Structure 1
Amino acid sequence: METANFLTWLLFFGLISSIGIGAMIYAYRGKGSISVLFTEFISTSSSIPSDAEVNFKQGCEAFQKGNYQQAINKFTEALKNNSTIAEAYHNRGLAFANLRQDDESVENLLQAGELYIEQKNQDAMVILKKNLELLKARKEARKTLS
């Protein structure tokens, strides 16, 4: 009888633990960690070297499908091949924002801004400014909810 009670309690606590761990994983990695603020990626206005172009396009496709972590990885690969692609930094920043990683997002968006200034791309700067304002508004909204 004691063995049966022990196994029942063990099963009960195992089930409760599994539910708790599952909820934490969902919140950290699953859809619970996504807050889509940006739905559209930035297409490139300049020519990208062919070694980086494939990864850039794959990153845009992943972004469009909502696979933001995969998009980040592809934009990172594109930047390893050519670190002057402002649009790759911009898109990587947008993907980080959609994964609620705002610090990384701002870091990438600022890097994109520096490159846009070097390239004298005022249109992209206007878009970038709007993106940063949306991030700021979300951060302020979180503070008021806390």
Structure 2
Amino acid sequence: MRLTRLSYAMRGIALHGQSVGADSLIALTGFAPPTLHALGARAARGLSRRLFNLVVTNVPGPQLPLYAAGSRMLEVFPVVPLARGQGVSIGMTSYDGRVYFGFNADRDGVGDVDVLADLVEQEVGQLVETAG
């Protein structure tokens, strides 16, 4: 049921031109993930106290393995900085056929961010199981 609702919502977003395709973002190679995260953080800085206390980003990463000094990068975890007054940020990125989440929270405002991370992991697992 959740997968059906998610699929329906995503089709609506795509039909109304509210999303940017992953291919479009990946086509900006050399300019993509770190730069887009930085631009988003700067744009959100002035708005965060008035409009929201949660940021969620999704920036596609390379789908080929990357190497540094001959060693293969195995995983990547995004870190989205918190702006003043912001409680939680969640980053999502893809790398080499997998998806990775990074959670960042104000310890005083959100002391149980680990619970949120566990719940997201459970829900993603259920979606994968349902889709598989």
Class of the TM-score when normalised by the shorter of the 2 chains = 0.3 to 0.5
Please, what TM-score do these two structures have when normalized by structure 1?
A: 0.30
Please, what TM-score do these two structures have when normalized by structure 2?
A: 0.33
- Structure 1 or 2, whichever has the larger Rg, is 1
